[in-house]
Amino acid sequence: MAMTVRTDEELDRALTALAEAEGTSRQEVIRRAVLERYARSGHAARVSESAERLAARWSDVLHRLGTV
C-alpha cells in the first residue's frame, strides 16, 4: 500500500541519518518507529488496566496502610 509522507527539513535530516546509521531505507525507519510506538501504547494500556484491577482488589489493604 503506497503512502506519501511530507517532512520538514529537520525530520528529513533525522530520517536520512537514521537510515544511513541503520543501513536501511527511510521507509523502514518509519515503519519500525510506527510499529514500536504501537507496541508501546498497547503495553501502557495493559499496565494501566492491571493497575486499576489490582488497586480495586487491594483497596481495603491500601486504605488501611495509608491510615496507619
Q: Which residues contact 25 (CB under 8 A, 6 or more apart)?
A: 19
68 band by pLDDT with thresholds 50, 70 and 90 = low
By mean pLDDT, which of 1-5, 14-18, 63-67 is the weakest? 63-67
Q: What is the pLDDT of residues 14-60, one digit of tens each?
A: 999 999 999 999 999 999 999 999 988 888 888 888 998 998 899 99
Tell me, what's the pLDDT at 62?
Answer: 85
Domain-located, residue 24:
yes
How many domains are contained in the chain?
1
For residue 43, what are the domain limits?
Answer: 9-66
Q: What residue type is assigned to position 3 of the chain?
A: M
Alpha carbons within 13 angstroms on the beta-carbon side of residue 8 total 1
Domain-located, residue 51:
yes
Output the pTM of the full model.
Answer: 0.62
Domain-located, residue 17:
yes
Number of H helices, E strands in the chain: 3, 0
Domain-located, residue 13:
yes
The answer to whether the beta carbons of residues 19 and 28 sit under 8 Å apart is yes
